[in-house]
A and B are shown apart, each in its own frame.
Chain A
Amino acid sequence: MPASRRLAAIALILGATVAVSLFVGRYPGPGPGIISPDRLATDDLAQRLVFNLRLPRLLTAVMLGMSLSAAGAVFQQIFANPLVEPGFLGVSQGAAFGASLAIVSLGSAAWLVQGSAAAFAFAGLGFSYFLARRGRFGGAVLRLVFAGIAVSALFSAGVGALKYAADPLSQLPEITFWLLGGLASVTWDQTWSIAPVVVASLFVIYRMRWRLNLLSLDDATAFSMGATPGRERALLLAAAVAATAAVVSVCGMVGWVGLIVPHIARRLFGADARYSVPAALLVGGLFGVLCDDVARTLLAGEIPIGILTSLIGALFFLVIMITYGHPVEQR
């Protein structure tokens, strides 16, 4: 099957999964179950639950999965390293630091935690870039990597200090839950607040996806083909970090998605970013929805989504590694 057909198939599966997920959950219970269409027509509470709670939550889960996966794909191609994650350039740890700072010192109003997380995520990127410019050792990409490691370590130490200063009964559990990720308090407000940034950033990444192939080459070579590696790289990284910071500020730290989904996408569609980036977007969205469905349905309490992404992601990845060969896509 040609690649575009397969992408359309995955898009359909994503759409169907979102639609079905609207009806699945722990209401009316007990235990996991489905709201039947009859029930939905007559039960007020069920209607409000589906449209005011489940729908924004599902859309946010899709955005979460798409953003982290697209960002992961961008990072992996730009750094020509398949073991790289969106949180690389001090972005994740910066967001964690920002959120912890808000929870411990600034009062934990949701907008404050979100804003602080987003601000420090960008700060992490900014510091990494600034440090990389001043560095003397190695090529441009290597300097960025080192700077990212240093900035991540600094912010991580900051998070540790904040955890120490936090109140063990009220603030520390909040920080811990944020660090594990969860979409339980997502409503339309939050979904709307991140949607513009996420959609714009993902659009930029989608349109520039072929250039990603170019950027995975050595800088001099990319330059010889008429690219402006520095600027294009900065734009793609900014888009990736913006989307990541936005979803992380609402959903907390969710790891592994940005590492695993691009691998899966490349396994299914080959390395060419023209197909692997849209694939990462779609598979990521699907992954986000599935993990969130399990998080809110499986047990009587919310499971932090970060635990699920690690577990399900790793299993998914194992299966793909074992069953799929090295397909180079047929046109």
Chain B
Amino acid sequence: MKRKFIGLLTAASLLVGACSASGTAPAPGASSGTSSGAVSPGGGAITVTDALGRQVAFASAPTRIVIAGKALFMVADAVYLFPEASSRIVALGNTVQNKLAFIPMVDPGYGTKTILDTAAGPEQIAAARPDVVLMKSSNAETLGKPLEAIGVRVVYVDFETPDQYARDLKTLGQLFGDAARAQVLIAFFQGRADRVTTVLAGLQDAQKPRVLLLYYTNKNGTVAFNVPPLSYIQSTEVQLGGGRPVWKDAQLGNGWTTVTLEQIAAWDPDQIYVVAYSGNVTDVVKQLKADPQWQELRAVKGSALYGFAGDYYSWDQPDPRWVLGLTWLAAKIHPDRFVGLDMDAEVRGFYRDLYGMDDAAYDKNVKPYLSGDLP
């Protein structure tokens, strides 16, 4: 009996030793051929620098791209800013938020693509035979590492702050072999942001209203209000939009922090913006305005309680729509400085320049889904 056990153990260790000594995955720096049998679209070898500063080399621009990992739709929306996306993305995860999904509408080939489960593991992703997998860098340990262990190349893009947008758009430009488009996009985002900051240049602190941005959740009847940490794009939008975030000096954690009504009253903000990722934000604002406790707040008395605007996705998030969120927010915080702003034209321009949608397509596909405090 003892001998059998030792025998099993020995056999097992021999097997383990043999396997780990034999083929290991080619390192991302190696320039071997594409891992599937797909035909390359032509063009020479490319090197991509990703969000973690890694250099990932390809013999030619990848044609089978998979988008995976958590918090997917924001990355997917950014990837689809490139017209090549539709033909080269073969699989992606779930892009639904609040029952709406933008990608199926904008991608004519969506029906033929594999939709990965939210909890898809490396094996399921490998089944799509990708040339490269795109994901946020927070997935590096759980998803990126095992994928690289089987020789699938991984490129990390985060798209979480305005600076990262510039960086990661450049990465995608390298990946798609379309640096020109990347430049156009970077210029667009930079331009829109610059326009806001230029209009608000020279503003003193005293002229900046005290703004509170709240993320509203209602789980099983329990309502909670959360504030973002300063690192989140929501805080950046408030600051760039010429407001003073009231939560600036609070000791917050790494993510959304729940705050009580008491704390909100103590902050006594001039304006309150409510964000909701599920449910109708206009309904939420209506409820709050009817709530006697909320009616005591100065911001509510002064009619400065607003639902954050959005369409498919709320515009506050680090989705490409953040520029819309910034523009809208700045115009709301300082309406006197943005008198001539035509929000409708802004949004149409966004969808035309970024997703190639003409007016007719916009009216049909986006306009019905506008939400929040829009004129």
> Which residues of A are at the interface with B, using a C-beta cutoff of 8 A?
3-4, 7-8, 11, 15, 25-30, 44-45, 47-49, 51-55, 59, 104, 108-110, 165-173, 184-189, 191-192, 195, 199, 206, 278, 296, 299-303
Contact = CB atoms under 8 A, between A and B. Distances in A.
Interface string B100-132: 000000000000001011111111101101000
B120 A167 contact: no
B4 interface: yes
Contact of B146 (A108, A184, A195): A184
Contacts of B122: 53, 184-185
B151 A48 contact: yes
Contact of B35 (A8, A26, A45, A166): A45
Contacts of A301: 116-121, 124
Given A168-B226, A206-B5, A301-B121, 18 more contacts: A4-B1, A4-B4, A11-B4, A26-B123, A28-B129, A29-B124, A30-B114, A48-B23, A52-B150, A55-B16, A108-B138, A167-B253, A170-B254, A171-B254, A172-B255, A187-B146, A195-B16, A299-B117
A92 B183 CA distance: 52
30 contacts: A4-B1, A4-B4, A7-B1, A8-B1, A15-B8, A26-B123, A26-B127, A27-B124, A27-B127, A45-B152, A49-B150, A52-B23, A52-B24, A52-B25, A52-B149, A53-B123, A53-B149, A59-B12, A104-B254, A109-B141, A167-B253, A167-B255, A168-B217, A173-B70, A184-B121, A187-B145, A299-B117, A301-B116, A301-B117, A303-B119
A170 B255 contact: yes
B146 A169 contact: no
A114 to B, nearest CB: 10
Contacts of A168: 217, 226, 255-256
Interface of B: 1, 4-5, 8-9, 12, 16, 19-20, 22-25, 35-36, 70-71, 114, 116-124, 126-127, 129, 138, 141-143, 145-146, 149-152, 217, 226, 253-256
B71 A170 contact: yes
Chain A at the B interface: SS class: helix
A47 B23 contact: yes
Contacts of B256: 167-169
Nearest to B1: A4
Contact of B123 (A44, A49, A189, A303): A49
A7 B71 CA distance: 48
Contacts of B12: 59
Contacts of B70: 170, 173
Contact of A53 (B71, B120, B150, B254): B150
A296 to B, nearest CB: 6
A63 B368 CA distance: 55
Contacts of B141: 108-110, 185
Interface-centre pick from B70, B122, B138 (highest chain A CB count, 10 A)? B122
Contacts of A170: 70-71, 138, 254-255
Contacts of B150: 45, 48-49, 52-53
A199 to B, nearest CB: 7
B116 A300 contact: yes
A188 B149 contact: yes
Given A25-B123, A27-B126, A29-B124, A51 B19 contact: yes
B149 to A, nearest CB: 4
Given A29-B127, A169-B71, A51 B23 contact: yes
A28 B146 contact: no
A300 B71 contact: no
B24 to A, nearest CB: 7
